[in-house]
Amino acid sequence: MFEFRINAVNNRARTGVFSTPHGNLVTPVFAPVGTQATVKTLTPEHLKSINASLVLSNTYHLYLRPGDELVRDMGGLHKFMQWHNPMLTDSGGFQVFSLSQTRKVDEDGVTFKSHIDGSTHRFTPEKSIAIQENLGADIIMAFDECSDPNDHAYIKKAMERTHRWAERSLKAKTRQDQALFGIVQGGVDPTLRAESAKFIASLDTPGIAIGGLSVGETKQEMHDTLDVVTPLLPENKPRYLMGVGTPEDLINGVLRGVDIFDCVLPTRLARHHSAFAPEGRLNLMNASFARDERPIDETCDCYACQTFTRAYIRHLIAAKELLASTLISIHNLRALIRLMERIRILIANGTFEEQSSELLQQWSNNAKRANSGVGN
């Protein structure tokens, strides 16, 4: 269980297979986010149709609602949401710091108020692991402290605490069928990141997560940080870049040795009518699409693109019909999963690194909205 076999390497980029109790993950992989035990507006059948393999769900949200003990009693997260392929839960650390109304951190843990009803709760490393064991994902995370990326003194303190909490998380773990990943922190400070990478690597967890990125730093800072961290991590463990990201981030991450990604971006964009397309990110609400008989992306094999026109999806948006979110979510997720499939082939062929600039070029349009016909 949790064996990571690397099949091909292109400089720092790798493609491999990570085995889990719910099947093999072919890496590099992009994981759709099912925050509340559902990838918003999609059925598990939709996820299968886009070749999703790993799905992430959020410990903080599921602890608050419906409660991790309820999920456990219903047979665990896989059975509850009927996703019988690999799953990953985060530790709740990031949400406690970003979503909860108030929070008080001490050495033992964090006391916070629910964003739903203001009720008071407390997470410790032991509690986070107990919740994640109740949920039952294949890959779980050590409890970490996410710090304000602009407060250097705090970043160091939070990193050191994250290391102590990682040790406590490991000690608290009881299930053998879950892979616990430690999390590298340290902001964008190369010295702290190096220290954190070495420490977390020393814990010998079956995989290692890189946290605290995509939180406001520049792209260059993200790349520089990855350039410090991944060379210090063991080759034979999968690396998970948490909460990242855009198509360019995925390409740049794989180039720097990352194996696993997750992000709400594709589904969040979908709910705001924004779709990945060859000519750039499209706002499908725009009137210029009212009579556009093309699919979102003529090269895409997803259900939305194989079935519907931009004109129809634009009508659904204008008429406030929820099917619009479903269709754009299917497409946006498929676009990133298809990108990862392509990257895996390129790595296997040994041509990923040389073709990466072309790939980045193709996707650079999607960093911003398309100019043609898009008014806002």
Residues that bind a copy of itself (CB under 8 A): 36-38, 40-45, 61, 65-66, 70, 73-74, 80-82, 290-291, 293, 303, 307-309, 311-312, 314-316, 318-319, 321-323, 325-327
Q: Which is nearer to a copy of itself, 314 or 334 (CB)?
A: 314
- Give min distance, CB of 76 to a copy of itself, in A: 12
Please state, as a whole number, how many other Cβ atoms lie within 10 Å of the Cβ of residue 116: 12
- Give min distance, CB of 61 to a copy of itself, in A: 8
Please state, as a whole number, how many other Cβ atoms lie within 10 Å of the Cβ of residue 149: 17
190 and 169 in contact (C-beta within 8 Å)? no
Q: Which is nearer to a copy of itself, 325 or 332 (CB)?
A: 325
Please state, as a whole number, how many other Cβ atoms lie within 10 Å of the Cβ of residue 43: 12
- Give min distance, CB of 284 to a copy of itself, in A: 13
Distance CA 277, CA 132 (A): 37
Report the alpha-carbon angle 42-47-53, nearest 5.
145
Dihedral, 158, 160, 166, 172 alpha carbons, nearest 10: -90
* Per-residue b or e along 207-244, where b marks 16 or more CB atoms closer than 10 Å to that residue's CB: bbbbbbbbbebeeebbbbbbebbbebbeeebbbbbbbb
- Give min distance, CB of 281 to a copy of itself, in A: 23
Distance CA 25, CA 142 (A): 20
- Give min distance, CB of 188 to a copy of itself, in A: 34
Distance CA 80, CA 90 (A): 18
- Axis-axis angle for helices 323-349, 310-318 (nearest 10): 140
Query: Comparing C-alpha atoms, which of 333, 189, 191 is closest to residue 261?
Result: 333
101 and 57 in contact (C-beta within 8 Å)? no
Q: Which is nearer to a copy of itself, 218 or 320 (CB)?
A: 320
Q: Which is nearer to a copy of itself, 4 or 83 (CB)?
A: 83
The catalytic residues are 90, 262
- Give min distance, CB of 64 to a copy of itself, in A: 9
Q: What are phi and psi of 67, to 5 degrees?
A: 100, 135
- Give min distance, CB of 56 to a copy of itself, in A: 16
Residue 331's Cβ-count burial label (10 Å; 0-12, 13-18, 19+) is: buried
Residue 303's Cβ-count burial label (10 Å; 0-12, 13-18, 19+) is: middle
Q: Which is nearer to a copy of itself, 40 or 223 (CB)?
A: 40
Token pair of 179, please?
A: 């892979």
Q: Which is nearer to a copy of itself, 153 or 319 (CB)?
A: 319
Q: Which is nearer to a copy of itself, 107 or 293 (CB)?
A: 293
